[in-house]
Chain A
Amino acid sequence: QVQLVQSGGEVRKPGASVKVSCKPSGYTFINYGINWVRQAPGQGLEWMGWINPYNGNSYEAQSLQGRLFMTTEASTTTAYLELRSLRFDDTAIYYCARDFRQFMLHPYGMDVWGQGTTVIVSS
């Protein structure tokens, strides 16, 4: 079945970077966009960005531009999110989620989610 498995939790100091991986299985990796969504403790969902694994095109939330970098690696069928210059309010659970429809040129809707990766920013 389709599943997305994420890397384990991380603790970082303010100003550092963190890289989270997301390894999908059960479908053709390059056919579906990957979204990144985060959820701060007790808060709602925040869409961070989307990447097309076929050609690397991406869209990011304006609030994260310059700090958020999304990549994919076709050889290992893995997606990565890197967030730089971490701040205390970046503490959250980070989810990767697959787009519902194949071959879309933009984020569309997320049908399968990873288990989440907890990132804690603490001095």
Chain B
Amino acid sequence: HSALTQPASVSGSPGQTITISCGGSDNDVGAYNYVSWYQQQPGKAPKFMIYDVNKRPSGVSSRFSGAKSGNTASLTISGLQPDDEGDYFCSSYTTSSTFVFGGGTRLTVL
């Protein structure tokens, strides 16, 4: 499976809302509701932010939300804060019983 497709970078000002897209195929994003999202800040391990397309683990701010339409998933962050800066990766379970990540999106808070 090829990596899921994400924009290389997005940016926004504090307080704004941004959306990161994650393009897949009928064999991954479109096949199951097993899309998850991770935030990674420099020098740290990834952090689990969204699972099952749109569910938030305990402790993750409600400013983070997920959605899916067909073969494309998305992560929306509302009320941007400086601490939201970092890299964001989408992922999905696939029809080959494997897992695939997106290439990652660098979020800059201006």
Q: For the complex, is B45 an interface residue (Cβ under 8 Å from A)?
A: yes
Query: B98 contacts A107, CB within 8 Å?
Result: yes
Count of chain A residues near B, Cβ 8 A = 25
Whether B100 and A44, one on each chain, are in contact in the complex, defined by CB atoms closer than 8 angstroms, is no
Query: Contact: A44 with B103, CB < 8 Å?
Result: yes
Which residues from 32 to 63 on chain A have a C-beta closer than 8 Å to any C-beta of chain B? 35, 37, 44-47, 50, 59-62
What are 23 A-B contacts defined by CB distance under 8 Å?
A37-B46, A37-B101, A44-B101, A44-B102, A45-B38, A45-B101, A47-B101, A50-B99, A59-B98, A62-B96, A95-B46, A97-B46, A106-B97, A108-B34, A108-B51, A109-B36, A109-B48, A109-B51, A109-B91, A111-B51, A112-B48, A113-B46, A115-B45
Given contacts A59-B98, A108-B34, A109-B34, 20 further A-B contacts (CB under 8 A): A37-B46, A37-B101, A44-B87, A44-B89, A44-B101, A44-B103, A45-B89, A45-B104, A47-B98, A60-B98, A61-B98, A95-B45, A107-B97, A108-B51, A109-B48, A110-B36, A110-B48, A111-B51, A113-B46, A115-B45
